[in-house]
DNA sequence: CTTAGACCTGTGTCTAAGACACAGGTCAAG
DNA sequence: CTTGACCTGTGTCTTAGACACAGGTCTAAG
């Protein structure tokens, strides 16, 4: 099985397959022609990686998880602790995006009623430069 | 004014100042000793950049905006159209994060009641591997 | 004047997770 | 045997700075 076939069978790209292979998450055999040859084991391995990515784990997390399981240990405790961390990060980013979205949207609606101004020596764009101040007023 | 002074006066880092300088957004004079020397014009320029970053513009956007204004044109139309784009992107990312947060949080709570399992030949971690399926059941 | 130490410099490299470019290899149809 | 479609591995690029590092500057003490 070639990289592109594996990729297509799981709905991802050959570049992604090659990336995981470069990192050592997939370990294909070298086929005769020098191409990498992926077996059924790689299919389920990739399926696992994609599921984990989908749940918010980083590739580094996944590497750690796989290493643990390859040592014969249960990865479950690690998995639980990692997702706790990732969820906290996600929550922070989520709040940040929420705030940003509000700011952007309020800027957009305010700016639609404001006139254009030419730049001056100390002003690039009055829309941006006055935004925070106006807000306070 | 040295990079670190400029940075501190606006609550950012010297690395950030140097980064913007590298990109040509700040154009300090060369001081005698070879260090870069920032004037008051750079202070207001940096203030502008930080405000724009804060509103969700990318550094590339800001470069574009500054170029427009340095051509003597009003950057306002560009600014409005850029923020519209950025807001749409932010909205998409926001929805994605919302969904991800929900998925992660539901995974976490479910996994806390599930037992550890040792890995098998075709299973790295049953928590992850069974998550989507269980959800459907 | 000298020296120590604190602080600063510019430059180069690193990050995540692939996407993209590219020179070249493979392979089926003709 | 050749054309063309598709594939390969490798190297570089992306964001917005952070960090490392060898060395320069500057102030205070001796």
Q: Please report the DSSP string for A106-131 in residue order.
A: HHHHHHTTSPP---BTTBS-HHHHTH
- Give, in Å, how far the C1' of D21 lies from the CA of A15: 35
Q: What is the CATH number of domain A1-54?
A: 1.10.1660.10
DSSP B56: T
Element (H, E) at A37: strand A36-37
Token reading at B55: 């509103």
Q: Does B93 touch chain A (CB under 8 A)?
A: yes
Strand C–CB B1 distance below 7 A:
no
Other C-beta atoms lying within 10 Å of the C-beta of residue A104: 21
**In the predicted model, what is the mean pLDDT of chain A?**
92
- Give, in Å, how far the C1' of D26 lies from the CA of B37: 16
Q: Residue B135's pLDDT is what?
A: 59
Q: Does A134 touch chain B (CB under 8 A)?
A: no
Token reading at B7: 């940075």
Contact state of A94 with B93 under an 8 Å Cβ cutoff: no
Nearest one of A122, A136, A113 to B80, comparing CA atoms: A113
Lookup result for tokens 């918010």 = A56
Three-state DSSP class for residue A57: coil
Lookup result for tokens 């949080």 = B105
Strand D–CB B19 distance below 7 A:
yes
Three-state DSSP class for residue A56: coil
Q: Residue A30's pLDDT is what?
A: 79
Strand C–CB A59 distance below 7 A:
yes
Strand C–CB A51 distance below 7 A:
no
Tell me the per-residue pLDDT of A51-106, one tens digit each, with 9 for 90 and over. 999 999 999 999 999 999 999 999 999 999 999 999 999 999 999 999 999 999 99
Q: Does B43 touch chain A (CB under 8 A)?
A: no
Closest CA of chain A from B3, distance in Å: 20
Q: Residue B23's pLDDT is what?
A: 93
Tell me the per-residue pLDDT of A96-132, one tens digit each, with 9 for 90 and over. 999 999 999 999 999 999 999 999 988 999 999 999 7
Decide: A39 and A54 in contact? Cβ < 8 Å. no
Q: CA A49, CA A20: separation in Å to the nearest integer?
A: 9
Cross-chain CB nearest to A100 (options B90, B115, B117): B90
Token reading at A31: 């086929």
Nearest CA in chain B to A91: B101
Q: What is the ipTM of this complex?
A: 0.88
Q: Which residues of chain B have pLDDT under 50?
A: 136-137
Token reading at A53: 């990515």
Q: Residue A29's pLDDT is what?
A: 87
Q: CA A102, CA A41: separation in Å to the nearest integer?
A: 47
Q: In chain A, what are the domain boundaries?
A: 1-54
Closest CA of chain B from A8, distance in Å: 20
Please name the residues in contact with A97: beta carbons below 8 A apart, sequence gap of 6 or more. B90, B93, B94, B97
CATH topology of domain B3-107: Multidrug-efflux Transporter Regulator; Chain: A; Domain 2 (1.10.1660)
């Amino acid at each position: 099985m070639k990289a592109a076939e594996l990729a297509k069978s799981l709905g991802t790209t050959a570049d992604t397959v090659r990336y995981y292979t470069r990192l050592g998450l997939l370990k294909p055999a070298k086929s005769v022609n020098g191409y990498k040859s992926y077996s059924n084991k790689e299919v389920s391995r990739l399926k696992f990686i994609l599921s984990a990515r989908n749940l918010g784990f980083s590739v580094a997390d996944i590497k750690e998880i796989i290493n643990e399981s390859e040592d014969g240990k249960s990865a479950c405790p690690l998995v639980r602790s990692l997702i706790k961390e990732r969820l906290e990060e996600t929550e922070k980013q989520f709040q940040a995006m929420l705030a940003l979205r509000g700011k952007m949207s309020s800027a957009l609606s305010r700016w639609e009623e404001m006139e254009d101004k030419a730049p001056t020596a100390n002003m690039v764009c009055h829309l941006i430069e006055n935004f925070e101040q106006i807000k306070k007023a």
